[in-house]
Structures are given as structure tokens and as C-alpha cells.
Structure 1
Amino acid sequence: MTRALITGGASGLGAATAARLRQDGVEAITVDLAGGCDIVLDITDDEAVAAAAGRLGPIDILVNSAGIVGPNAPLVKTTTAQWKSVLDVNVVGTVTMMRAFVPGMVERGWGRVVNIASMAGKDGNPNLSIYSASKAAVIGLTKSAGKELATTGVLVNAIAPAVIATPMNEDTSPGVLAHITSLIPMKRVGRAEEVAELIAWLTSDKVTFSTGAVYDISGGRATY
């Protein structure tokens, strides 16, 4: 049986992805920091991730969905501590998980990694400079890793959602939320199930000639 590991799996995109993959007969294992998942794990803790990898055994699919938005504030009002906090989860945590599980995929000659970026990483959202920069970094590392692993059978792709109705966005200020929703030509936010469908495709055998790519799921917002 194909085995998937999904970070941020207790809610939002992670939970929706786990549910969708299970429909395809995939053994989907969710990890999260807050509980309500299969395994409680701090993805920023190298030792904890390494220990989890040892306990779990082979993982064929890795979906890096864990992330935090950080402060809604002008760039000049942000602090170094806030930058480090968001980057540690959104970027370093993603890298930590890839370092732990990608080698096994390479050894077995098959694997799928999907990193959750954001339209913010392509367009930049005002008053969300930290989040936007972190998601731009996720896009860059996906492109780099995709090229590194291109001949191994392990595909690494990213998705860039616009605003999706998830618990993470409940903490986004109404003004910011209204602005970024207004940029979507479909004039609505996306649903977690819609994003999960794209992830299910990207983690399947149906995708064989795409790696290091970024797939928009934005209701038409994408400008490039």
C-alpha cells in the first residue's frame, strides 16, 4: 500500500488532503503540533523528525501543508523574532521533513513531494511580508529540489493556492482577507476539497513528467 505523510494534517488543507488520499486507498498519516492527528510532531525539531522517520518506516508521499501566517503588519513594523518564527515553520520545517523522508524515496526509486506555497509567494500580499517571503522561499526550494531529484523517480512540485476557507485564515484580519479575495476573478474563496483534488493528482502515478513546478489554484488570480 502507498503511504503518505501529511504535515499540518489536523485541519484545513492537510486534513482535506488526507481524506482525499484515503479515498484512493492510500494510507495517509497526519502529523501536527496541535493534536487531533495521527502523530504529534514539531516539524522544526530535527531530532523529533528523525525519530518519527525511524518509527514510521517507508513513506512514498510527503505533503508539506503545515504553515503559519504570522503577523498582519507593515514590513517596517515586523520584528526579527516574527520573521524567524514564520520562516522556521514554513521553510525550515518543510526542508527538515524533506531531508528526513526523501532519501528513502530515492532509494526505492519512487516518491512524490507536494509543498504548499501560496499566491502570496508569487504576488506578495500587503501587510503579509513575512508570509509572502516564506512562501516565495517554498517555491524556490521546490524548483531546486525538483531539478536535483529529476532522474530519481521522486517528483517535487508545489501548489500556490489563493485564499482557501481554512482555520488558518480565520486569524487573518478582515481587511486583508477582503483585499486578497477581491483579487480573485471568480469572486470567492476556494474550498479545501478543491485543493486536495489537485494534490491527489500530483501525488499519483498519473503525473510522470512534471517536477519543480508550481501549480496555481487561485480562481483565476494568477498573473504569471
Structure 2
Amino acid sequence: MLDSHRIVITGAAGTLGQAAAEKARASGAYVIGLDIVDTDSVPNTDEYYQLNLMDRDATKARFDTFGSIDALFNIAGGFTMGDTAFDPTSEQWDKLFALNVNTMRNATMAAVPLLTRKPKSAIVNIGAMGALKGIGTMSAYCCSKGSVMKLTESLSDELRESGVNVNAVLPSVIDTAPNRESMPDADFSKWVSPAQLAEVICFLASPAASGIHGALLPVRGLS
């Protein structure tokens, strides 16, 4: 499905990043992983680089070393909740916009000049089912992921004529160890697995999805 594709994955050291890298490599891709985690290697990546994606200049400098690429998976991000939208002491707004929006924008700005060198290429972003509406004590997360989704649509409108397909997946609750720990009484079998989500991400980067532009695709499992 992704034979000979060069794919950059941000957040490659996380659970979803590793699942996406595993599926991409199994589909024939060469995987370049990026994350803030300081480690020599990350499973299922062919190259791995520690990088603070909130640093725009450092991000551009790293991407400039890659030459042409075929796809960017913007998986880096974060989640937290508990503060109200009117709490003047909350730091969640700045934190989640930095993690979810700024990392995506910086990686995208650095990647687009490389992606447009190919006749067909792709960007896949991570939105959220929960951000389709505002939820109490989750305003920072909902607004940041909502921005990711609107940026996906705007980028698609800007780039599709250049051969770059831009889409996003919208997971519900992902079946990860931290989520299980924070919600021990939930029915985990209804959550979407990282492997299921990785399948859809890789599909959107493949030639089979060449006609899909600006989609916000729910991937919710049975929840």
C-alpha cells in the first residue's frame, strides 16, 4: 500500500506513533520518526530524531535534511482536562495549543516544500471525535483539536491542486495504557485500538485515497 514511500511521523515514540510506524513499514514504507523523547531509537522507525516540534526553526532545519518525502503523519499532541474555561489560573490553553496546534503547524510548514516535489503526497492529522462540540472542563482540548480540524480543511483547500492530499482522522477514546488507568471501569473492548487507527492513517496516505481531500474521518470503534 505504501511501497517505497518515505513517511515522517511526529510523536513517533508514543503509542499511536509506534502503531502507525509499524503499519507503515509493514506496508512497504521507509519511516522517519520525530519526537521530543531522548532515545537512540524507536521501534519500527528506519530513522529517529529527537526534536522539539514547538521550535519552528529547529523543525524546519531537521526537515531540510530529509530531501523529498511522500507523507507526513502529524501525530504529536497531548490531552488534559479538569480546568474550566473561565479559570484565570489555568495553563491548559497555552499548553494544549502548543502541543496540538503549534507542533502540527510547524511540521506542516517544514514538510510542504518537500511534499510538493512529488506528484502525489499526503498529510494526515489527528483530530478528535470529542472536539466536534464543546465539553465542560475540556475547553482547551476541544478548541485545540477543533483548530487542527479546521486547519486540515484549510490546508486541503490550499494544497490539493499541488498534489498534496490533506485529511484527518477523528478517534474516540484510544485503547492505551494511560486511558485504561484513568478510566478503569470502562468497557475497553469498545474503544478504538491504535492498530485500527493506524490502518486508517496509512490508507489516507496511500494511492487508494488519492480522491479524498479535506476529510474529517471518524474512527470510533464501538464507542
TM-score by shorter chain over 0.5: yes
Per the alignment, residue 198 of structure 1 pairs with 200
Per the alignment, residue 45 of structure 2 pairs with none
> Is 1:27 aligned with 2:37?
no
Distance in 1, Cα, partners of 2:87 & 2:189: 30
Q: Cα 1:5–1:96, aligned 2, differ >3 Å: closer, same or farther? A: same
CA offset at residue 203 of structure 1?
0.6
Q: Which runs of 5+ in 2 are unaligned?
A: 43-47
- Output the aligned Cα RMSD: 2.2
Q: Cα 1:115–1:79, aligned 2, differ >3 Å: closer, same or farther? A: farther
Per the alignment, residue 208 of structure 1 pairs with 210
Q: Cα 1:134–1:199, aligned 2, differ >3 Å: closer, same or farther? A: same
> Is 1:51 aligned with 2:61?
yes
Conservation of the 8 A alpha-carbon contact between 2:172 and 2:220: yes
Q: Cα 1:24–1:120, aligned 2, differ >3 Å: closer, same or farther? A: same
Aligned residues: 213
Task: Find 2:191's aligned residue among 189, 192, 202.
Answer: 189
Per the alignment, residue 139 of structure 1 pairs with 149
Q: Matched residue of 2:213: which SS?
A: coil
CA offset at residue 162 of structure 1?
0.1
Q: Which runs of 5+ in 1 are unaligned?
A: none
CA offset at residue 220 of structure 1?
5.4
> Is 1:15 aligned with 2:18?
yes
CA offset at residue 75 of structure 1?
2.3
**What does the per-residue CA deviation read over 1:17-43, in whole Å, with 9 as the maximum and x for residues that have no partner?**
000000011001111112343111111
Q: Matched residue of 1:151: which SS?
A: helix
Per the alignment, residue 120 of structure 1 pairs with 130
Distance in 2, Cα, partners of 1:21 & 1:119: 24
Q: Cα 1:3–1:13, aligned 2, differ >3 Å: closer, same or farther? A: same
Distance in 2, Cα, partners of 1:35 & 1:25: 27
Q: Matched residue of 2:64: which SS?
A: helix
Structure 2 matches for 1:158-197, cutoff 5 A? 158-167=168-177, 169=179, 173-174=182-183, 188-197=190-199
Conservation of the 8 A alpha-carbon contact between 1:116 and 1:160: yes
**What does the per-residue CA deviation read over 1:156-192, in whole Å, with 9 as the maximum and x for residues that have no partner?**
0000000001256367x54xx86xx68xxx9721110
Q: Give the fraction of aligned pairs with identical amino acids, expressed as a percent.
A: 31
> Is 1:2 aligned with 2:5?
yes
Conservation of the 8 A alpha-carbon contact between 1:61 and 1:203: yes
CA offset at residue 80 of structure 1?
5.5
Q: Cα 1:190–1:154, aligned 2, differ >3 Å: closer, same or farther? A: same
CA offset at residue 54 of structure 1?
1.8
Q: Matched residue of 1:88: which SS?
A: helix
Conservation of the 8 A alpha-carbon contact between 1:120 and 1:136: no
Conservation of the 8 A alpha-carbon contact between 1:106 and 1:153: yes
Structure 2 matches for 1:140-155, cutoff 5 A? 140-155=150-165
Per the alignment, residue 119 of structure 2 pairs with 109
Conservation of the 8 A alpha-carbon contact between 2:64 and 2:110: no
Distance in 2, Cα, partners of 1:104 & 1:31: 16
Output the amino acid matched with 1:214. L
Q: Cα 1:140–1:209, aligned 2, differ >3 Å: closer, same or farther? A: same
Structure 2 matches for 1:65-76, cutoff 5 A? 65-76=75-86
Output the amino acid matched with 2:103. G
